[in-house]
């Protein structure tokens, strides 16, 4: 593993343990050149999965993109990182176990929205504003009123 501090190619694993949700292995490493310590995570990848974008382009499935979008939607909402990781891991598991090698980006977006709806209504609306491409304040107002109506039931 390349050191993020000095770019040396070799590092030594000092400690390994599973994460709390048992979806990855956390490894504590030390660079053999500069002695700096850093953490890496190792996850299982069942097969190569491609995401079909709305314009028809294919991209490799990237968990980090989902994690970044969810984290941005949850920013300053007091939501634990562990809860975000659980949501992203659940989405990744659903995509990998679906048995398909290609997944439409719209399906992934809906999975994220379903998960965020259960966690936090503001994060849900934030994500929806980008995902559904709100163009004016009326779009926010209409969507927020739908969320409020569902919450009242």
- Which pTM value belongs to this model? 0.65
Please name which of 151, 105, 101, 143 lies closest in space to residue 125, comparing C-alpha atoms. 143
Tens of each residue's pLDDT in the chain, 153 residues: 889 999 999 999 999 999 877 778 999 999 999 999 999 988 776 678 999 998 999 999 999 999 999 999 999 999 999 899 999 989 998 998 888 899 999 999 999 999 998 999 889 888 888 877 777 777 767 777 777 654 433
pLDDT score, position 45 = 64
pLDDT of residue 134: 76
Return the half-sphere exposure (C-beta side, CA atoms, 13 A cut-off) of residue 142: 8
- Return the pLDDT at 148: 60
Which phi and psi angles does 142 have, rounded to 5°? -65, -45
């Amino acid at each position: 593993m390349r050191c993020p501090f000095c770019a040396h190619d070799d590092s030594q694993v000092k400690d390994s343990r599973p994460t709390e949700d048992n979806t990855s292995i956390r490894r504590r490493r030390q660079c053999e050149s500069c002695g700096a310590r850093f953490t890496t995570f190792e996850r299982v990848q069942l097969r190569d999965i491609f995401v079909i974008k709305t314009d028809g382009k294919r991209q490799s499935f990237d968990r980090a993109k989902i994690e970044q979008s969810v984290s941005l939607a949850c920013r300053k909402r007091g939501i634990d990182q562990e809860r975000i990781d659980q949501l992203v891991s659940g989405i990744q598991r659903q995509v990998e176990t679906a048995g398909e090698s290609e997944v439409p980006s719209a399906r992934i977006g809906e999975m994220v929205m379903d998960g965020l709806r259960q966690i936090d209504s503001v994060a849900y609306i934030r994500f929806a504003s980008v995902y559904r491409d709100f163009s004016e304040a009326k779009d926010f107002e209409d969507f927020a009123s739908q969320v409020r109506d569902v919450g009242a039931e």
